[in-house]
A and B are shown apart, each in its own frame.
Chain A
């Protein structure tokens, strides 16, 4: 079966750095996505990786290792507004997104 694993919840301090991991087992791979979802709102796109390596976008970076079935989202200089759930999703061989359950990130002052 297809599976996306990520931690249920993480806590970090304002101004610090946090890394959210995602491991996957899917039938085929056509890219990995990270989305941010604030409570009661819709998911919004953060990043996309299809090749191995690091993609940087401001305070957010995402890393992919296809051989290990592994990705992480790195958030730097954490702000209170970064408190949200972070969803990892993999596009499978049918070009459909398989979603993890999300990691709830709690930022403390």
Chain B
């Protein structure tokens, strides 16, 4: 089972350019999340989706947008990248029907904005 995949693995992006980070899961989980992880800080939630067709803002949504057209895919778009968006981005999913509802993470995308 693939679980969650993310693409690309890493990217160097010029400031002002746009980019979409891709995330796909094959576990049929209803909830999906995008986090960024920066040195010395905890994972911070950017956007989330509780089910296909709905999205919500997390702690640090500015400069990012998401869509959830179907259960499997949850792309994250940076419309006009800035250096402060240099980070490691993790996509995660969870099955909200269980007792524990742990989140499963993709391998991450390392993004550098110059």
Contact = CB atoms under 8 A, between A and B. Distances in A.
Please indicate whether A and B come from the same complex rather than being unrelated chains: yes
B107 interface: yes
Contact of B103 (A41, A45, A98, A101): A45
Contacts of A41: 107-108
Interface residues of A, number: 18
A99 B43 CA distance: 6
B103 A97 contact: yes
A4 B42 contact: yes
> Which residue, of A31, A48, A97, has the highest number of chain B Cβ atoms within 10 A?
A97
A26 interface: no
A68 B100 CA distance: 22
Interface residues of B, number: 18
A42 B41 contact: no
A48 B43 contact: no
A50 to B, nearest CB: 8
Given A41-B107, A42-B108, A96-B58, A101 B102 contact: no
Which secondary structure characterizes the binding site on chain A?
strand
A101 B107 contact: no
B74 interface: no
A63 interface: no
Nearest to B43: A99
B102 A48 contact: yes
Contacts of B48: 96
Nearest to A33: B102
B90 interface: yes
Contact of B105 (A31, A33, A43, A96): A43
Interface string B71-114: 00000000000000000001000000000111111111000000
A102 B90 CA distance: 16
Given A33-B102, A44-B105, A48-B102, A101 B58 contact: no
Interface string B3-45: 0000000000000000000000000000000000000111111
Interface string A41-80: 1111100100000000000000000000000000000000
